[in-house]
Amino acid sequence: MSYLFTSESVSEGHPDKVADQISDALIDNFLAFDKSSKVACETLVTTGQVVLAGEVKSKTYLDVQKIARDVINKIGYTKGEYMFDGNSCGVLSAIHEQSPDINQGVDRAKPEEQGAGDQGMMFGYATDETENYMPLALELSHRLLKELAALRRENNDITYLRPDAKSQVTIEYSDDNVPQRIDAIVISTQHDDFDTSEEVMLAKIKKDIVEILIPRVVANLPAHIQKLFTNDITYHINPTGIFVIGGPHGDTGLTGRKIIVDTYGGKGAHGGGAFSGKDPSKVDRSGAYATRHIAKNLVAAGLCKEVLVQVSYAIGVAKPTSINVETYGTAKVDLTDGEISKKVEEIFDMRPYFIEKRLKLRTPIYSETAAYGHMGRTPEIKTVTFTNPMGETISEEVETFTWEKLDYVDKVKQAFKF
């Protein structure tokens, strides 16, 4: 019997994502001027106020207020009527030095013996149902909001959009887990005041979403995904009605509250650790990226159609306490999942130092991860520039989303004798 599966996404203007983007901008600035920085920064945003807290061990000094304001303005909170804007909001910093008790468990005389920055388990997932090996419902949810943000910035076809928004997509699957159609799409978008009745306003917003946004999204999808957009989709557009008050004025935002949006939309599993605001010595982040890298390369190599990879660590210990692979019965080799796990452990060195080196994680690449998902993105080589309060400017060529590269496909095929 067929079944329904749903995933959601939130826009860059969602209060929790505002917090994530500020935290990751701090990470990037610290790493730009001191590659050895150890950072765990949390952000809270609410009406007219930003609070920064956390622990840092770094040789550099930053103007954290300016960094936070620049992020807020870039997102689009630039008007006083939003009750939260980058130029006028208060920014309070309660960032302090990292505990030496924690740091002694991470730093080692030999870099390759670097211990994990915390205990815990991380998961990576991949599926062949999309070209970027991501779950379809989440991929579509992200695309809807990225295109909605593009429309907001263009300010041509739709002129009333504000930064805060959420999306949700429900897919109908067949018994053999193949997407059949889109059952429902939910979009709630913040908007300017209308000079009309609520009924007329909602009709206008729904018409624009269905007739402008949806076709723009569909046009950039592969043909087999486009076919899922039928006339039978149920649309819920701003189902609560007026959505003028939004962003941090409508709902307090905190770093790390959208971990399912950040990963796989509820598919696979999640270890519970957030990513944003953490330098790569924190395995919550680097371990999750590394397991996604493994999962994607396993599926791309043809080992299986779907896979979940788990890794776990003890704080201060380099070698993982476990590595586990679950192929959901889709493996195309005559090996048990336990035997596959052993081979994966031989191919991928999951000690924190080697993850950082393999994925080039000690570079300022994290601001881009903080909205529209950390997984399923396209790697790029680009130049980034940072300036500190002393007037020093650093430009650096970096490679983003390295954990999405298919650079281990041949190694996987060789190890499993394809």
Per-residue pLDDT tens digits for 245-270? 999 999 999 999 999 999 999 999 99
CA 81 to chain centre: 29
Helix (H, G, I), strand (E, B) or coil at 268: coil
Longest dimension (CA), the chain: 68
Per-residue pLDDT tens digits for 68-80? 999 999 999 999 9
pLDDT higher than threshold 80 for residue 367: yes
The verdict on whether residue 98 carries a ligand-binding annotation is: yes
Per-residue pLDDT tens digits for 132-175? 999 999 999 999 999 999 999 999 999 999 999 999 999 999 99
Average pLDDT over residues 381-399: 96
Q: Looking at the domain that runs over 15-107, which CATH code has it been given?
A: 3.30.300.10
The verdict on whether residue 282 carries a ligand-binding annotation is: yes
Q: Give the residue ranges of DSSP H helices in 253-388.
A: 259-262, 283-300, 337-347, 352-359
The verdict on whether residue 147 carries a ligand-binding annotation is: no
Angle at the Cα of 297 (from 171 to 302), degrees rounded to 5?
Answer: 75
What are the residues whose beta carbons fall under 8 Å from the beta carbon of 304, sequence distance 6 or more?
Answer: 298, 327, 328, 330, 331, 332
pTM of the model: 0.96
The verdict on whether residue 165 carries a ligand-binding annotation is: yes
The verdict on whether residue 301 carries a ligand-binding annotation is: no
Judge whether 9 and 28 are in contact, CB under 8 Å.
no
Q: What per-residue confidence (pLDDT) applies to 387?
A: 96
The verdict on whether residue 112 carries a ligand-binding annotation is: no
Please report which helix (H) or strand (E) contains residue 45, including its range.
strand 38-46
Residue 176 — very low, low, confident or very high, per pLDDT cuts 50/70/90? Answer: very high
Question: Of 145, 18, 25, nearest to 86 (Cα)?
Answer: 18
CATH architecture of 3-10+136-246: 2-Layer Sandwich (3.30)
The verdict on whether residue 164 carries a ligand-binding annotation is: yes
Torsion-angle region of 23 (φ positive above 0: left; ψ -120 to 50: alpha; else: beta): alpha
Quote the CA–CA distance of 81 and 76 in Å, as a whole number: 12
**What is 120-127+256-415's CATH number, 2.60.120.10, 3.40.50.620, 3.30.300.10, 3.30.1330.80?**
3.30.300.10
Please state the domain extents for the chain: 3-10+136-246, 15-107, 120-127+256-415
Residue 18 — very low, low, confident or very high, per pLDDT cuts 50/70/90? Answer: very high
Per-residue pLDDT tens digits for 295-337? 999 999 999 999 999 999 999 999 999 999 999 999 999 999 9
Determine phi and psi for 353, rounding to 5 degrees: -60, -45
Q: How high is the mean pLDDT of the chain?
A: 96
The verdict on whether residue 334 carries a ligand-binding annotation is: no
Beta strand pairing call for 179-191 and 234-237 = parallel
Quote the CA–CA distance of 179 and 137 in Å, as a whole number: 9
Quote the CA–CA distance of 138 and 403 in Å, as a whole number: 18
The amino acid occupying position 145 is L
Judge whether 26 and 39 are in contact, CB under 8 Å.
yes
Q: What per-residue confidence (pLDDT) applies to 356?
A: 97
Residue 43 — very low, low, confident or very high, per pLDDT cuts 50/70/90? Answer: very high
The verdict on whether residue 305 carries a ligand-binding annotation is: no
Q: What per-residue confidence (pLDDT) applies to 102?
A: 59
Q: What per-residue confidence (pLDDT) applies to 107?
A: 67
In CATH terms, are 3-10+136-246 and 120-127+256-415 the same topology?
A: yes
The verdict on whether residue 226 carries a ligand-binding annotation is: no
Quote the CA–CA distance of 262 and 248 in Å, as a whole number: 19
Residue 113 — very low, low, confident or very high, per pLDDT cuts 50/70/90? Answer: confident
Per-residue pLDDT tens digits for 92-109? 999 998 766 656 557 666
What are the residues whose beta carbons fall under 8 Å from the beta carbon of 146, sequence distance 6 or more?
Answer: 372
